[in-house]
Amino acid sequence: MSNKTWNIEVAGQQHVIEVKSGSFAGGGSLTVDGKVASKWGTSISGLPMPLKFEVQGKKAEIKSKGFMANTPALYLEGKEIK
């Protein structure tokens, strides 16, 4: 899986959400505004899903899209952020 970054605005403030992951079974991390929110080690299933966290009090999560691609998708308050 490749790295993915989202630049979003919540309540008038900019935030950067980033997922970094190694190969298909590699470990990785989730950062919110440069601070590590979650880390994981190697796994046959790739990303541990879903990754739940908050951005300025709003519920957010990273879910996997696609079967073999394991592409991360960001959801804020249940709505996908493109």
Compute φ and ψ for 48, nearest 5 degrees: -75, 120
Q: How confident is the model at residue 58, as a pLDDT?
A: 95
State how many domains the chain has: 1
CATH code of 28's domain: 2.40.128.180
Which residues have a Cβ under 8 Å from the Cβ of 48 and sit 6 or more positions away? 38, 40
Nearest-angstrom CA–CA distance, 72 and 4? 7
Q: How confident is the model at residue 46, as a pLDDT?
A: 57
CA 63, 28, 7, 58 dihedral sign is positive
Range of the domain at 76: 4-81
Query: Per-residue pLDDT averaged across 3-7, rounded?
Result: 92
- State pLDDT tens for residues 24-81: 556 788 999 999 998 877 665 555 568 899 999 999 998 877 766 567 889 999 999 9
β-bridge mates for residue 70, sequence order: none
